[in-house]
Amino acid sequence: MAEVLQLEIVTPERLVEKDTIEQIQIPGKNGYLGILPGHAPLITELGVGEITYTADGMAYYVAVAWGFAEVLPDKVTILAETAERAENIDVERARKAKERAEERLRSASGEVNYQRALVALDRANVRLQVAEKKR
């Protein structure tokens, strides 16, 4: 059985991450999934959340907002709309986005706007959370 996983994180803008890892947790739409080498083939949608993985015994954190993952026994490929490693997150921007989203939530008119503001708030929160974990 495979001992490691190949990880690839791809966004529309670029290839974010390519690494050999020991284990990974991904934010599935219906809850977090922990994946070890040799996992059964799986396809899942990702929600807004954080990806945690370990490579060479070190933990890494990546914030994602909506994505899609394919898991194979020796490989994990993640398509994410946005993916940022903890150290690359612009905390100031995330904080501003959060304030904006909160503002919109208070004044939102209509169901759609409300939903969108909620999603935006979610995204900003995750970014802030992940950013705190940077070394």
Partner 1 sequence: MANILDIRRRIRSVRNTRQITKAMKMISAARLRRAQDRALSARPYAQMLTNVLKSLVSRAEIFDPETGEPRHPLLAQRPEKNILVIVVTADRGLAGAFNANIIKAAFRFFAANEGKIVDIEAVGRKGRDLFRRRFPTATPEQTERAGPVQTVGEHIGVLGKLSFEYVRDFSEGVIDRYTKGEIDSVYVIYNEFKSVIAQRLIVEKVLPIEEIGEQTVAQAEEVSKEEREKRAEAAQAAGISLGEADTREMDRRAAAFATAQVDYLYEQSPGELFRNLLPKYVAVQIYRSMLESIASEHAARMTAMESASSNADEMIDKLTLAMNRVRQAKITKEIIEIVSGAAAQ
Closest by Cα among 49, 80, 78, 79 to 63: 49
Instruction: Please select the residue that binds partner 1; options are 5, 7, 11, 121, rule is CB under 8 A.
Output: 11
CA torsion angle for 101, 105, 110, 114 (degrees, to 10)? 60
CB of 58 to partner 1, least distance (A): 25
Stretch that binds partner 1, among 11-19, 54-62, 98-106, 125-133 (CB under 8 A): 11-19
Closest by Cα among 82, 79, 78, 80 to 97: 82
CA distance 30 to 14: 27
Asked if 106 is part of the footprint of partner 1 (rule: CB under 8 A), the reply reads no
CA distance 31 to 11: 21
Asked if 82 is part of the footprint of partner 1 (rule: CB under 8 A), the reply reads yes
Q: What is the CA radius of gyration of the chain?
A: 16
CB of 14 to partner 1, least distance (A): 4
User: Closest CB to partner 1 among 15 and 59?
Assistant: 15
Residues of this chain, 18-77, that bind partner 1 according to CB under 8 A: 28-30, 33, 40-45, 66, 68, 70, 72, 77
Contact set with partner 1 (CB under 8 A): 10-15, 28-30, 33, 40-45, 66, 68, 70, 72, 77, 79, 81-82, 112, 116
